[in-house]
């Protein structure tokens, strides 16, 4: 039986935000744990260590490409379904879901084939040839991760669609089940079975497959949307509408990949010029450490994205129902939550960098490793509050249907600031310039975001921000 979602336009905004955002945050955090858990166990295996850490860092951006495809389909469909249900256009809702399913299947197979054919040049482009040991481990890990891409894309894309159907808790559960499976299998495959990078990757793929199968089960038992044979097809008109809402999420992920490619290549280049890291036995350290810092940032940014993405069904429904006043109020709560997350994350990275790094095997590494860890954490992530506010603003714009504006600003952050600053600043400051490029990019982006925040409040009809 189809479920009415009119409560999205009548219940208090703050409880609704909690109902949808918290499961979304948990889902994203657990999803992030796949790669993070792999890296923790890899780093603590004596036969892998920092070489395995560096290999994991090389492959990570390539999984983000798959995630970019998934969120473009899933987030776009989620926003479109929510708006359609709010406007009582149920046929558009169920056809967009069917279309999204077919897009997931075809796009994931294409990406998997590309990765399998061009594995070596792709890994080289992301710094995999920093030394031979790192490259060998990167190829091993990448092969098995690539085989799981269809499961990964399908599970991640269906997650926001399940939330839009009014089931944020099941969306959370499907991700949790897969991640916990990975956590259980990782140490078994890596330590007693000595399967190395392949073991870590296989554990990840098994977890992703479980999430995908749970998502498939839910699609057969949806609450607010009834799928039928007529739901499935490539409906060009609908595809254009919901993909335009998700293109911001896609470009945000892809631009992040481009930025990471620039950062990782500059890390390899200027690391080779360093007095210490220019030595063969220490060459992988900057790349390995950068991977650890990115993993912590991924945790924090997952919370920021979760708050904003969790609001998408609520905002979309209320915009469809002509309740802009509720959309304004939700934006206020969102900005407050993002600022709090950023401040807490900043305190953690400034006060406990070594303790975080120790989780990733820093205790087993040289003093050069631990010294670089402390510097990297404290510089690279020193503008976390701005990063959180920027991300929340971009996604909220997407929920409002302002995909063009959101895409433009997001690309400015990741391409203009995220690529050119890591290339230019190290010319004058070496590796330190690379580290400082990240906070500088966040400051410059926030100057733009502040203008947009003011504009959004004005357009939604509120002269002042309600505290």
SS (H, E, C) 329-363: HHHHHHHHHHHHHHHHHHHHHHHCHHHHHHHCCHH
* CA dihedral of 17, 36, 395, 350, whole degrees rounded to 10: 90
Contact between 395 and 406 under an 8 Å Cβ cutoff? The reply is yes
| Contacts with 153 (C-beta within 8 Å, 6 or more apart), sequence order | 66, 67, 69, 70, 73, 104, 107, 108, 111
Can you tell me whether residue 148 is helix, strand or coil? coil
Contact between 306 and 29 under an 8 Å Cβ cutoff? The reply is yes
Give the count of domains, the chain: 1
Per-residue pLDDT at 364:
66
Per-residue pLDDT at 1:
39
Cα–Cα distance, 196 to 37 (Å, whole number): 14
Cα–Cα distance, 227 to 238 (Å, whole number): 16
Q: The domain containing residue 56 runs over which residues? A: 12-459
**Residue 274 backbone phi and psi in degrees, to 5:** -75, 145
Residue 267 lies in a domain: yes
Per-residue pLDDT at 363:
64
| Contacts with 344 (C-beta within 8 Å, 6 or more apart), sequence order | none
The residue to which tokens 């003093």 are assigned = 367
Cα–Cα distance, 222 to 450 (Å, whole number): 39
What separation in angstroms does the CA of 247 have from each of 69, 106, 143, 399, 406?
9, 17, 28, 12, 10
Nearest C-alpha neighbor of 73 from the set 240, 246, 222 = 246
3-state secondary structure 200-212: HHHHHHHHHHHHH
Residue 1 lies in a domain: no
Can you tell me whether residue 216 is helix, strand or coil? helix
| Contacts with 47 (C-beta within 8 Å, 6 or more apart), sequence order | 194, 196
Diameter of the chain by CA atoms? 68
Residue 464 lies in a domain: no
Contact between 383 and 301 under an 8 Å Cβ cutoff? The reply is no
User: First vs last Cα of the chain: how many Å apart?
Assistant: 40
Nearest C-alpha neighbor of 26 from the set 228, 161, 181, 173 = 173
What separation in angstroms does the CA of 310 have from each of 75, 131, 214, 396?
10, 42, 20, 10
pTM: 0.75
Per-residue pLDDT of the chain (467 residues; tens, 9 = 90+): 345 566 677 778 777 877 878 877 877 777 677 778 887 888 788 788 778 888 888 898 888 899 889 988 988 888 787 777 777 777 777 787 888 899 999 999 999 999 999 999 999 988 888 888 889 999 999 999 999 999 999 999 998 888 877 788 888 889 889 988 999 999 999 999 999 899 999 999 999 999 999 999 998 888 777 777 777 877 777 777 778 777 767 876 787 788 888 888 898 889 888 888 888 778 888 888 888 888 888 888 888 888 887 777 787 777 777 777 787 888 888 899 999 999 999 999 999 998 888 887 666 677 888 889 899 999 999 999 999 999 888 888 877 777 778 778 878 888 889 889 999 999 999 899 999 999 999 999 999 999 988 888 888 765 443 33
Residue 189 lies in a domain: yes
Contact between 182 and 204 under an 8 Å Cβ cutoff? The reply is yes
Residue 143 lies in a domain: yes
Q: DSSP string covering 265-327, please?
A: HHHHHHHHHSTTTTSGGGTTHHHHHHHHHHHHHHHHHHHHHHHHHHHHHHHHHHHHTT-HHHH
Residue 309 lies in a domain: yes
Residue 466 lies in a domain: no
Which helix or strand (DSSP H or E) is residue 75 part of?
Answer: helix 49-86
Contact between 100 and 77 under an 8 Å Cβ cutoff? The reply is yes
The residue to which tokens 């994931």 are assigned = 108
**Residue 227 backbone phi and psi in degrees, to 5:** -85, 145
Residue 340 lies in a domain: yes
């Amino acid at each position: 039986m189809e479920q009415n979602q009119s409560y999205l336009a009548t219940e208090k905004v703050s409880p609704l935000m909690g109902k949808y955002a918290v499961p979304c945050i948990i889902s994203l955090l657990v999803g992030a744990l796949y790669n993070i858990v792999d890296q923790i166990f890899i780093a603590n295996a004596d036969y892998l260590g920092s070489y395995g850490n560096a290999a994991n860092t090389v492959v990570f951006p390539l999984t983000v490409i798959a995630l970019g495809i998934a969120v473009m389909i899933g987030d776009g469909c989620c926003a479109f379904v929510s708006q359609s249900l709010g406007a009582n256009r149920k046929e558009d809702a169920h056809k967009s879901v069917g279309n999204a399913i077919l897009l997931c299947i075809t796009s994931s197979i294409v990406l998997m084939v590309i990765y399998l054919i061009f594995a070596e040049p792709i890994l080289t482009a992301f710094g995999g040839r920093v030394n031979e040991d790192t490259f060998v481990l990167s190829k091993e890990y990448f092969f098995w991760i690539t085989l799981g891409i269809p499961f990964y894309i399908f599970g991640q894309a269906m997650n926001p669609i399940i939330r839009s159907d009014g089931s944020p808790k099941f969306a959370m559960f499907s991700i949790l089940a897969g991640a916990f499976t990975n956590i259980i299998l990782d140490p078994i495959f890596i330590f007693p079975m000595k399967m190395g990078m392949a073991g870590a990757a296989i554990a990840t793929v098994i977890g992703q497959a479980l999430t995908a199968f749970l998502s498939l089960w839910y699609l057969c038992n949806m609450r607010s949307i009834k799928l039928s044979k007529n739901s499935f097809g490539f409906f060009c008109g609908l595809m254009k509408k919901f993909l335009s809402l998700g293109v911001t999420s896609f470009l945000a992920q892809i631009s992040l990949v481009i930025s990471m490619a620039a950062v990782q290549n500059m890390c390899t280049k200027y690391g080779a010029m360093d007095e210490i890291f220019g030595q063969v036995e220490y060459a992988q350290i900057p790349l390995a450490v950068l991977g650890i810092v990115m993993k912590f940032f991924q945790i924090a940014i997952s919370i920021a994205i979760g708050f904003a993405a969790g609001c998408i069904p609520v905002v979309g429904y209320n915009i469809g129902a002509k309740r802009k006043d509720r959309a304004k109020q939700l934006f206020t709560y969102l900005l407050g939550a993002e600022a709090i997350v950023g401040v807490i994350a900043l305190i953690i990275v400034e006060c406990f960098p070594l303790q975080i790094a120790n989780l990733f095997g820093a205790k087993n590494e040289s003093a050069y490793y631990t010294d670089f860890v402390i510097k990297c954490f404290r510089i690279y992530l020193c503008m976390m509050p701005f990063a959180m506010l920027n991300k929340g603003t971009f996604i909220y714009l997407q929920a409002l249907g302002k995909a063009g504006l959101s895409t433009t600003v997001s690309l400015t952050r990741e391409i203009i600031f995220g690529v050119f600053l890591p290339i230019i600043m190290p010319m004058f400051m070496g590796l330190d310039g690379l580290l400082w490029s990240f906070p500088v990019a966040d400051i410059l982006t926030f100057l733009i975001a502040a203008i947009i925040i003011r504009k959004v409040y004005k357009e939604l009809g509120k002269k002042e921000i309600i505290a």
